[in-house]
Structure 1
């Protein structure tokens, strides 16, 4: 399987992916405005209920802290923390590869590239058994479109044994995602409506 090029390399962007990314950003933003804050909170809690039974108690789980209109994984973070689960968050330092650093609610965070809220660089690195990833679009074959930098695809390549689950709004589903040789498919996608095994 090909390895995705680093984001700093010159690339010829896939026009289909660019169009889809922009369309899904707009669709997501409109959906979040339509449902309002209460609807977004209820959706995040519903998504947590769909995914939680699929996470083994002994697994180290990598999650993320939501940005802007992303479906918020915080109810899942709280549920995993309550059952004593080991967790990590993605971290970016300079142009290096994404690392997953140990974190729990209440632990300090710092601002990283791309507005990422991440653990301090002194936090221990973890090799997650399961990675919960945000995305902009997905299909039912496990293909996803992220934000275009390739950080998660490179992490998936580096951690081939980790189970990969996308977390996103149901409105971000499309019939087919165009994909490159380095795109690593997900094992499942979770929305506020359902758990989708890819």
Structure 2
């Protein structure tokens, strides 16, 4: 049985919201994206959640997403354990796992061209209830109630249910914030969102 949508007044579909937010994001110039990304990274690195984190689970940015490579390199220099996601399995039964990387060069094109770890043996992240772990979530659209739309695969929602003790923070540009998003019962909200303007 499909999960039920939780609708607000005059709610648009997830597809419509994704389309609008992605179109807005695509209009940002490379210079604007880089400057906004630096501000987001600075806000994040100054946060207690980041400073206390021993393990950082972070996506490797792709195309016009909030950039994460400077963040990854900084966390590695600080001695934090950095884990990046990899999509595994066949169509219809795909899952997302995280693997530790020691260097950004260990990331290569994987599922749908997205950078993924290539060294896997002995590097798997074990989900549990460690409150010092920090998950940095990407997404297509967000609102100020911390609702989040991913890319439609549900990978982060399923993973976050397994990693219940970890802190969840989403990275997004201001232009990706919409007034109100539809939400399903299975959707997982980040505990905080950071944009180039600050925290939500």
TM score, norm. by length of structure 2: 0.83
Structure 1 position 143 matched with structure 2 position 147 = yes
Q: Which residue of 2 aligns with 1:19?
A: 16
Report runs of 4+ in structure 1 exceeding 4 Å deviation.
none
Question: Does structure 2 retain, via aligned residues, the 8 Å contact 1:71–1:169?
Answer: yes
In angstroms, what is the RMSD of aligned CA positions?
A: 2.2
Q: In 1, are the aligned partners of 2:109 and 2:116 still within 8 Å (CA)?
A: yes
CA deviation vs aligned residue, 1:77-102 (integer Å, no higher than 9, x gap):
22212211111000112243200100
Distance 2:76 2:107 in 1: 17
CA distance in 2, matches of 1:58, 1:164: 11
SS of equivalent to 1:89? strand
* Alignment check: 8 A CA contact 1:109 1:118 kept: yes
Who is 1:190 aligned against?
Answer: 194
Give the structure with the higher percent strand: 2
Q: Which residue of 1 aligns with 2:167?
A: 163
Q: Does 1:126 align with 2:125?
A: yes
Deviations 1:57-94 (A, max 9, x none): 44201111111111102222222122111110001122
Structure 1 residue 53 and structure 2 residue 46: aligned? Answer: yes
- Aligned CA distance change for structure 1 residues 58 and 145 (closer, same or farther; 3 Å): closer
Match of 1:75 in 2: 70
Report the Cα distance in structure 2 between the residues aligned to 1:107 and 1:124, rounded to whole angstroms. 15
CA contact under 8 A between 2:96 and 2:155: conserved in structure 1?
Answer: yes
Q: Please list every run of 5 or more consecutive structure 2 residues that lacks an aligned counterpart in the other structure.
A: 4-10, 128-132
TM-score, normalised relative to structure 1: 0.84
Question: Following the alignment from structure 1 to structure 2, what is the Cα–Cα distance between the partners of residues 136 and 109?
Answer: 22
Query: Closer, same or farther in 2 for the Cα pair 1:16/1:3, shift >3 Å?
Result: closer
Give the whole-Å Cα distance in 2 for the aligned partners of 1:106 and 1:53: 22
**Partner residue, 1:40:** 33
Structure 1: distance between partners of 2:2 and 2:81: 28
Is contact 2:72-2:104 (8 Å) kept? no
Distance 2:99 2:62 in 1: 18
Return the alpha-carbon distance in structure 2 between the equivalents of residues 133 and 58 of structure 1.
15
Q: Distance in 1 between matches of 2:43 and 2:102?
A: 21
